[in-house]
Structure 1
């Protein structure tokens, strides 16, 4: 673990922008800044946990071994717990700060998903209609 260091909750909380995004998983600190745009679940997923403990969220998704291997390459240190941590961990509510040149909206991901679902539904209806027409010809 050469090159890693200890971080407090407040230090991690200060890394909460798209270009400087740290998260905590199982008391390990990860710099996911370079992975934001590559994350398969979208950047909003990482934005929701920017600068805070994401152990529960990471565990609840059921990440693949490949995802866990990628995560290990992003580790920059360990969480250094202090006596105030039990209070500060709950009190640190960091809002994700998007870069000035971009804006993010949780709704944008939903809009894209809805569009894809509508396109797939139309394609399914079209395929079913063609299938039914082919059955009538026989």
Structure 2
């Protein structure tokens, strides 16, 4: 059974020496990952003190990146004790579909830029 943390417990871990984040209602101790995070350590430190699910999904992390998170999982957030706007509980379909839309967007934008450049050239 997973350990359950209160929101107040999690927000105390908010610096480069002790960094916990909340994503999809789960608590991750990412302190050891800070130096290896491709987006830099400040991205993760700035995600402390709140539910970082929206930021995590906005970046559209790859499946290997999502799988890597399990190494840093330390427990779940106590939902009743957390501020109502802070913690979200997305369905599995929302989790999967949001990544697909972002991948399509990431593919189409470079094509549009290339098309505009070629159109201006000719």
User: TM-score, normalised on structure 2?
Assistant: 0.65
Rounded to whole Å, the distance in 1 between the matches of 2:49 and 2:36 is: 18
Rounded to whole Å, the distance in 2 between the matches of 1:84 and 1:36 is: 25
Contact preservation (8 Å) 2:23, 2:56:
yes
Asked whether 1:54 is paired with 2:52, we answer yes
Return the match for 1:19 from 17, 20, 24.
Answer: 17
| Alpha-carbon distance, 1:8 to partner | 1.1
Q: Unaligned 5+ residue runs, structure 2?
A: 88-122
Rounded to whole Å, the distance in 2 between the matches of 1:60 and 1:83 is: 26
What is the Cα-based RMSD across aligned positions, in Å?
A: 1.9
Contact preservation (8 Å) 2:14, 2:49:
yes
| Alpha-carbon distance, 1:82 to partner | 2.4
Q: Unaligned 5+ residue runs, structure 1?
A: 91-138
Contact preservation (8 Å) 1:18, 1:47:
yes
Contact preservation (8 Å) 1:23, 1:50:
yes
Rounded to whole Å, the distance in 1 between the matches of 2:15 and 2:3 is: 20
Q: How many residues align?
A: 87
Q: Larger Cα Rg: Structure 1 or Structure 2?
A: 1
CA deviation profile, 1:68-107 (whole Å, cap 9, x unmatched)? 11111110000112256227x49xxxxxxxxxxxxxxxxx
User: TM-score, normalised on structure 1?
Assistant: 0.57
Rounded to whole Å, the distance in 1 between the matches of 2:15 and 2:59 is: 23
